[in-house]
Chain A
């Protein structure tokens, strides 16, 4: 399949020199006195390698047909994330470097929607807001006005997040997974 470069968007999967890449950044540029171009940054899901390129919006590029499948996150071994597809129970692995910080965002045993190209896992879709349990939270220091009204905390997945001083270990909080910022306390 081929698309015009002007149609490329964040998340578009492209085939570059036979390798799949997912577009992570896209910006249109009209250089003074020049044709319209689109500047893109891409990431290889198989190696984590990133690539930058600038293509004329009217040029065609090969995009690839991707499909979504549900996968259960099993564990990580320091190098790879291990998943199992929920429909066929196939084990799928993907290098951890491709998805920095995902080890702190995903929960073992949880099912995530994943984007596949043939047998390769290209993308893991984490919901934008997720509830985590606070594993550790600093004691609030009375009268401390320097650090303001927040303190450090760590979730049960190991995610470091600044929380309001009233949050205690064992409580549940909702976190924006893109910015990794605290959103609100969740009461059961």
Chain B
């Protein structure tokens, strides 16, 4: 994979795992630690859930296309199956590309890096399907029609899914349908690029009508990669951070989990950010499916589940 990017003149970067502030992401819980020095004082630090912000800073500074393999940390997610709290991510950002250009690039990357004898269900060409098509095919829901949460909730009831009587965020109702009826039924004979996510799932992918310029790639039903046409309008990014931070503070004040420090000046990167498409790929998951394993821990030398089970504490 490194050779693939080096041949295309991407710069490999290595950004910090420990950071004094994070970008606000309401759905990702964080690990907190403390830097302390008797003479200098102490400061909260966080293990990064992704290297995104550092890489975007480098792109804004004119570094061009960049890639990185790094460990990322996400708290409170379950352990086992497709998750380990510490995992290896590959992120690659291509300056001048949009999310559509990243599809053939990712196909080539998978083609080039897959070991000989890899199951053809894990090799290109990728099947391409829009979220609109997938929701219609597997849940009989027309996303263009169901822009109102109440209509989506009705679709849940027609599909005999549990849905609360009171209103909830549109994306939660969407996920009930998507996760129960669509995701488990996606074709598994080839990798699938599920394109154009609903606009209501707020993120830093550019908006396009009712959708966003974002895709996810699945292999054998497992989410492997996520791609955006990166938002580059400063005010849109600043508004997104503000909203996300408010949501984060509200939810975590209730649950008591870590509220990280967030630096509002992150948005200023986007006063001079070039057209870019970024892909994040879960390397442990890719190796898991390539090796026919069902548990992410099967390929880790020290899976978290085993460390928790067998670990002893000095007393």
A54-B83 in contact (CB<8A): no
- Please, how many angstroms separate the alpha-carbon atoms of A107 and B246 in the complex? 61
Any A CB within 8 A of the CB of B201? yes
Count contacts between A and B, CB distance < 8 Å: 56
- Please, how many angstroms separate the alpha-carbon atoms of A35 and B226 in the complex? 17
A31, A33, A53, A54 — which one has the most chain B CB atoms within 10 A of its CB? A33
B180-A34 in contact (CB<8A): no
Any A CB within 8 A of the CB of B77? yes
B175-A31 in contact (CB<8A): yes
- Please, how many angstroms separate the alpha-carbon atoms of A18 and B78 in the complex? 30
Residue of B nearest to A31 (CB): B175
Give the segment of B39-47, B146-154, B157-165 that binds chain A: B157-165
A35-B172 in contact (CB<8A): yes
A34-B201 in contact (CB<8A): yes
Q: How far is the CB of A180 from chain B (nearest CB, A)?
A: 20
Cβ–Cβ < 8 Å partners of B265 in chain A: none
Q: Is the interface of A mostly helix, strand, loop or mixed?
A: strand
B161-A32 in contact (CB<8A): no
Cβ–Cβ < 8 Å partners of A35 in chain B: 27, 172, 175
B162-A16 in contact (CB<8A): yes
Chain B, residues 158-190, CB within 8 Å of chain A (1/0): the string is 001110100000011001101110011000000
Q: How far is the CB of B68 from chain A (nearest CB, A)?
A: 19
Do A28 and B83 form a contact, CB below 8 Å, given A34-B201, A39-B179, A56-B172? yes
Cβ–Cβ < 8 Å partners of B78 in chain A: 28
B81-A32 in contact (CB<8A): no
Cβ–Cβ < 8 Å partners of A27 in chain B: 81
Q: Which of A28, A55, A61 contacts B77 (CB 8 A)?
A: A28
A53-B172 in contact (CB<8A): no
Name A50-85 residues within 8 Å CB distance of B.
51-56, 59, 61
Cβ–Cβ < 8 Å partners of A3 in chain B: none
Residue of B nearest to A28 (CB): B78
Cβ–Cβ < 8 Å partners of B216 in chain A: 32
Q: Which of B160, B164, B175 contacts A54 (CB 8 A)?
A: B175
Residue of A nearest to B204 (CB): A33
Cβ–Cβ < 8 Å partners of A53 in chain B: 161-162, 176, 180
Any A CB within 8 A of the CB of B202? yes
A30-B201 in contact (CB<8A): no
Cβ–Cβ < 8 Å partners of B179 in chain A: 29, 31, 37, 39, 54
Cβ–Cβ < 8 Å partners of B162 in chain A: 16, 53, 55, 61
Any A CB within 8 A of the CB of B109? no
Do A52 and B180 form a contact, CB below 8 Å, given A32-B223, A32-B226, A33-B202? yes
B180-A36 in contact (CB<8A): no
Any A CB within 8 A of the CB of B269? no
B83-A30 in contact (CB<8A): yes
- Please, how many angstroms separate the alpha-carbon atoms of A55 and B226 in the complex? 23
- Please, how many angstroms separate the alpha-carbon atoms of A28 and B27 in the complex? 14
Chain A, residues 19-44, CB within 8 Å of chain B (1/0): the string is 00000000111111111110100000
- Please, how many angstroms separate the alpha-carbon atoms of A55 and B172 in the complex? 9
A33-B77 in contact (CB<8A): no
Name A118-141 residues within 8 Å CB distance of B.
none
Any A CB within 8 A of the CB of B203? yes
A37-B175 in contact (CB<8A): yes
Residue of B nearest to A57 (CB): B78
A39-B180 in contact (CB<8A): yes
- Contacts A33-B201, A51-B160 given; 13 further ones with Cβ under 8 A? A29-B183, A30-B27, A31-B179, A32-B216, A34-B171, A34-B175, A35-B27, A36-B27, A37-B176, A37-B179, A52-B184, A54-B175, A54-B180
The 7 closest A-B pairs by CB, nearest first: A28-B78, A54-B179, A54-B180, A33-B203, A32-B226, A34-B175, A54-B176
Residues of A within 8 A of B (CB): 16, 27-37, 39, 51-56, 59, 61
A–B Cβ pairs within 8 angstroms, 19 of them: A16-B162, A27-B81, A29-B183, A31-B179, A31-B223, A32-B216, A32-B226, A34-B27, A34-B172, A35-B172, A36-B77, A37-B176, A37-B179, A39-B184, A52-B180, A55-B162, A55-B176, A56-B172, A61-B162
